[in-house]
Structures are given as structure tokens and as C-alpha cells.
Chain A
Amino acid sequence: MADLLALEGIRKSYNVGTPVETEVLHGIDVTIHPREFVALMGPSGSGKSTLLNIIGLLDRPTSGRLSIHGEDTTQLSEAALTSLRGHTIGFVFQYHYLISAFTARENVMMPMLLDRGRPDATMERRADELLDWVDLGRWRNNRALNMSGGQQQRVAIARALAMDPLLVLADEPTGNLDTASADAVFELMQRFNRERGTTFLIVTHNHDLAGRCDRIIQVVDGRITEDRINVLERHSQ
């Protein structure tokens, strides 16, 4: 299977060139394949979020090479990275982070609006379709703040999928939800992965949820200590 994402020797240091220079990622090598549903696990401070930010093109590695579909991204300009990020990667964050000035539908339309500049009917149709899909069709005109945490996270997932991204990065997407909501949100992401083939990389502390992923990557102290295929999950599908 061709690589969707390939990280080679990724290192990340903060305060470079100062006496307090700290390296948080010590040479990460990993590849992610299309259609995978991957859990990224590790204790707090292990470098998971930093790694996720680098994969999401929100941050640049200090050294190493990050390729998407074989194209090296480390030499791209910031504008090119922004455009690539908008077209290929969707984000889901722990604290939902919907934009409160907009309704659920407008939040889902936002990535398309940023890409095309002006709103149009196709964006509305796409947003409605995604909201129906996450079972929030009748909440489409609600402001983000008038929805529960679980509902907001489902809207955030719909928004992450708006541009049909190759990869969705989710940073503890269920970390702030009760068990039932967390389960529903996780199930939603898995369903989208199965039905549409979108690749998911999910940071989670929850072993039960990680157990439902195809693959589990363990990061400890800035190094990958374990990278295994979840055989049980593969077999159950």
C-alpha cells in the first residue's frame, strides 16, 4: 500500500540556540497508509501533541522529512503549507473549538468558505449533508454555544470532513466528553473511516477506544516505543 504520510528522522527542539534548548522529539520514523484508523498514545508530555502539530503542518520540525503522498513538505513556503493543510487535513480538537459567532452549518461551511472565498449553495448542501450524517441536521441553525459538548464535537467532526480531507487529525477528541458521548463520537469517526476511506490519526489516553483502532502507536519521551497492528480490531471488521 502506498504511503499517505511518511515521517523520516523527525526531530523537534524548542528554544533552539539557547542554553535551555530542549528536544522533545528524538528522530521519529513512521508511515501512515490510506484508510488507516490509527491511535497515537503516550503519557502526558511525551510529545504526542507536538508530533500531531507537525503532521498537521501547523508546526515545522527542527530536522527530518515529512512527506504527504511522496511530496516533501519541509521545504514548502508558509502559504503553500496553509493551502496544503486546508485541502488535505481536517482537525478535531479536544475542546471542540467551534467559532461561536457562527451557526453549526456555518462552522461546517467554514473550510470551504476559506478555500473558495465566497459562500454558495453547494457549500450549504455539503454542510447539511455532513450535519445529517452526524445526526445534527435539525440543529444546523443553532449557535455553537447553544449545543452540548457532544453535539459540538460532532459538528467539529463534520467540519473536519468538509473538504474531503485525506487525513483527519484528532487531538483527544473525546477527552472532554462523558462516556456515552465519547462512544458516539468515536463510532462516528470509525463509520466515516469505513464508509469513505478517510484516514484518521487520533491522540487518546483511553485504552478502550485505542483498542478499537486498526493500529496503535505508542510515544514515550519523544520516541516511538511501540507501533503495532491491532489484530483483534482487524479481525472484527
Chain B
Amino acid sequence: MKPWLTFAWIAALRFLAEGRMQSGFILSGIAIGVGVIVFMSAMLTSVQTNFTNRVLTSQPQIQLLAPQEVARPLRWHDGVIEAAIVQQPTQRILSIDQWQTILAAMRARPDVVIATPTVSGSALAVRGDASRSIGIFGMQADDYFRIVRVPNYIVAGNSELGSDDILVGLELAKDIGATIGDKINVTTAIGGSRTLTIKGIFDLGNKGANARNAYVALRTAQSLLGLLGGVTTIDLTVTDVYAAETIAQDIQATLPVEADSWIKTNAQIFTAIRAQNLSSALIRIFVGLSVAFGIAAVLVVSVLQRSKDIGILRAMGCARGQILRVFLIQGGVLGFVGSLAGALVGAAALMVWHRYARQADGSELFPLYIQPSLFVSSAALATITGVIAGIVPALRAASLDPVDAIDG
């Protein structure tokens, strides 16, 4: 007997050790349950973190646009509308009115980290016989590339843009048969045309974006799209990415702009994440319940098997509280040890998955984010579940009458 252990701990550990087979089976059950939770939680966290990182490094968190043009009905006089049908107007590319003032206001906000103006619109990229429609983004590289990390995705050349340079995606380069240093003609619907040199080729990890996106300097885009001195959007990053929608609503309420947050523009994916989190929480609850019932069942049987021991202990002066603790500790120990084994099972499953689930080219599907807190919280939850599961059997054991227990 270890001198630092109390009677309750000594008896609990001995009883568990003596019922080796029972303890082994329930520990395996707990380990599998906790292993599933660890594996599933780590996968979900990784998918979500990976997705969020990709979204947040390839698009601004809030985009300010010129408000949509609205056709107003013709009024005869107060309360009487002349026209029966109001046609929606076409949406021209318009500059944000007083964009410098708005930009300054954005930069002054404490919850905004970066604010940078951009000009974007459609164009045609032509090289020889090949032509492709593209979206051009004119921006101030210093600020914009801190929001959309194009330099991180450059696969050839570099991202330093002069007024006659352009960055294109991997697909577009392939489609028009161009490479670094080649020149392409970019023309727009309003007649703007420039010959630009490909300075860099990027791979954003999305085929559509690689085929359509092209980045140029702000002034180049302004001249191509006929917006000299104007900008079509102001892109923002904020201190708390998950507060982006609230901040966007606040900006829209106070300034004559339309503000779209990344949360709103990715609403469907957010709904999917929420559904995933909900189903994961439900799985956790049900696995937790089955673990709790398993522990309780084993302890109830243990109380029955040990009723004579309990009776003898009570006869020898063992208080009800001591008996209660013996069984609560057994529940907690089963939960804790089972969760440690489960953490190992979960971690091993993650390693195996990461080793064998690969893209066609052998690269990883997505990086795994395994947080130590996941293991700590799983162990703590399983231990608490074990103690709670032990309450009913422990109360039953503590309430045993010594005479009845000894007589069996």
C-alpha cells in the first residue's frame, strides 16, 4: 500500500485491478469512444481552420462597394405614382463617391487593420489567336497583398507590379500559352486597351480563380476601366474576423456604401460548418452518454459482486462516505485512463489518416491542426463523466446495510 494514498484510493484501485477483465472491456469501450471524439474533432478543426485560412488570405474580410443604382418611380404628386412598372437599371461600374474620405474614415476606425482601395472590372486578355475573359483587379500592392496573399501563391516570377505589369493565374497562362515576361493585350468593354507584361503567375488553389483573376496596379486598372481617380471597392481587414458582419453592418449604416463581409459572402459554407459542428456535438453527447452508461453498468455489477466486502468494511468501521468515494474514484479512474488510451487511439488514427489519405499528386489533403487542449479537455470530460456515472452505483454501495450485505 502506498503511504500517500487514502483508503478510498487504495480500495478503488485494488478493486479495479482485481476485476481485470471487466475493467479491460470498459476501458476499451471508453478508449474507442474518446478516440472517435478526438479523431472527429481534430478533423473538423483542421478542415475549418484550413478553410478559414484560405478564405481569409484570398479575399478581404469586408468589401465596401458603391451602392446599387435604383430607379425611382415617377410621382405625379404626393402619394400618387405615375408609372405602373419600374424597370431595374443596369449597374454601371461606378466609383465610390468621396472614396478618399471614406478610406480615411476606415483607417481611423480602431477595429479596422488595413483599408485599401481597388478597381475591378471585366476585360479580355488576348495573346495571338487566344483570348479569354478575365477580371482585373487594380490595387496598391503594398496594402492589398497584406489582405490577399497573392505573393504567397506565386509559382513563377514575382509579385512586384509596375504600371505595365500584370499577374495572371496558372490556368489563364496555360490557356493563352503565356509565361513570365510575355506580353498580353488587355482590352475592356469601354475601349480601354493596354499591353501588359506578365510579371508573375500564381496558383490560388482554385481553378476558376486561376483562370479569371488578374492583378494590375491601381492606375493601370483605372485607365483600362475609365475610372480615372475613382475606385470601385475599398477592401478591409478587421481585428476580429468573426465580428466582420457586425462591423460591415455598422459601416453600411453610417456611410453611403454597401458593405459585404466575408461571413455574408460565404454564408452557405458557414451554414455547412454550423451543421457540421452541430452533428459533431450530437455525436460527442451520444458517445459521452454511452461511455457513462457503460461505466455505470460495470460499477453496478461491481457493487453487487462486492456487497460482502462492503458489509465487512462497514462492520470494521468504514463510514458510508468512504464507501461512496471508493466507487466514485473507480468511475473517475475508468474515465481518465480510458480517455488517455482514447487520446492515443485518436492520435494514431489521425497519423494513419494523414499518412494515407493523399491528393492524386501525393500532397496532403489539408494540414492537420491538432491542439493539445483537445486531449486535455477530452480527458477532463471523460473523468467527470466517469465520476458522474459512478454516482448511482456509489450511492447504492454506501446505502447498503452491513447486516444485509454480509448475509448476502
List the B residue with the shortest CB-CB distance to A162: B316
By beta carbon, the residue of chain A nearest B311 is A97
Closest 5 CB pairs of A and B: A86-B317, A101-B14, A119-B1, A101-B18, A111-B316
Q: B-side interface residues toward A, CB under 8 Å?
A: 1-7, 10-11, 14-15, 17-18, 308-309, 311-320, 322, 402-403, 406
Nearest Cβ in chain A — how far from B42, in angstroms? Answer: 38
From A56, A82, A106, give the contact of B319 (CB < 8 A).
A82
CB distance from B8 to the nearest CB of A (A): 9
- A59 and B403 contact, CB distance less than 8 A: yes
Which residue of B7, B14, B18 contacts A117 across the interface (Cβ within 8 Å)?
B7
Which residue of chain B has the shortest Cβ distance to A85 in the bound complex?
A: B317
Is the CB of A109 closer than 8 A to any CB of chain B?
yes
Query: In the complex, how many residues of chain A place their beta carbon closer than 8 angstroms to a beta carbon of chain B?
Result: 31
Q: A99-B312, A106-B1, A119-B1 are in contact. Are A58 and B10 (CB under 8 A)?
A: no
Q: List 5 A-B contacts (CB under 8 A).
A: A83-B317, A86-B316, A97-B311, A101-B15, A115-B317
- A31 within 8 A of partner (CB): no
- Contact (A113, B1) CB under 8 Å given A99-B309, A118-B6: yes
The contact string, 1 if C-beta is below 8 Å from chain B, for chain A 109-136, is 1110111011110000000000000000
Q: Which residues of A contact B7 (CB under 8 A)?
A: 113-114, 117-118
In the complex, what residue of chain B is closest to A124 when comparing beta carbons? B1
CB distance from B301 to the nearest CB of A (A): 15
How far in angstroms is the closest Cβ of chain B from A99? 5
- Would you call A87 and B3 a contact (CB within 8 A)? no
Cα separation A163 to B318 with both chains bound (whole Å):
13
B5 contact set on A, CB distance < 8 A: 118-119
User: What are the residues of chain A within 8 A of B15 when measuring CB–CB?
Assistant: 101
Residue from B1, B313, B316, B318 with most neighbouring chain A CB atoms (10 Å)? B316
> Is A102 located at the chain interface by the 8 A CB criterion?
yes
Give every chain A residue within 8 A of B18 (Cβ-Cβ). 100-101
Bound complex: CA A125 to CA B314 (Å): 24
| A91 to B313 CA separation, bound complex (whole angstroms) | 11
Q: Give Cα A109–Cα B10 distance, bound, in whole angstroms.
A: 12
- Add 6 more A-B contacts to A58-B406, A120-B3 (CB < 8 A): A59-B403, A82-B317, A86-B317, A111-B317, A113-B10, A118-B7
What is the CA–CA distance of A101 and B5 in the complex, to the nearest angstrom?
16
* Cβ A56 vs Cβ B315 within 8 A: yes
